[in-house]
Structure 1
């Protein structure tokens, strides 16, 4: 595994955002946890609303807003999983 892994949420052919795969596991876990919980909290708050009326463009933008940090969190969890697998093999 390379030291720096591009986040899958990069939307260009030349990535600008990376994960340091050699960072301590607790730091990677905290970063993943923060991103996933932030999106979870937004979605839970949205679910508690009685009525939400939005057009397709707003819903599409909102979906992208939630998807980016979720992808980042999943990328971080992937690095953690690979590191842990390497430790136990």
Structure 2
């Protein structure tokens, strides 16, 4: 049985999707982080740009993609033997 809360979350998620945003809950799942970690990132300016709308946090997909790109690292080349 689907509750009113679940219906509301689904509806909000569809709206966020239309706006090309992630809900805070979805970003948290993607990051594999706790609620307190996500909040700390926002306070320290370490995570992606976000939108505060009332008591809801939305993360624009472009901002998340840019943040992920900023975290990517090149692999160090492997040396095969001694020259």
Structure with the larger RCO, 1 or 2 (CA within 8 Å, 6+ apart)? 1
Q: Which has the higher strand share?
A: 2
- Normalized per residue, the structure richer in helix is 1
Larger Rg: 1 or 2? 2
* TM > 0.5: no
TM-score, L = length of structure 1? 0.26
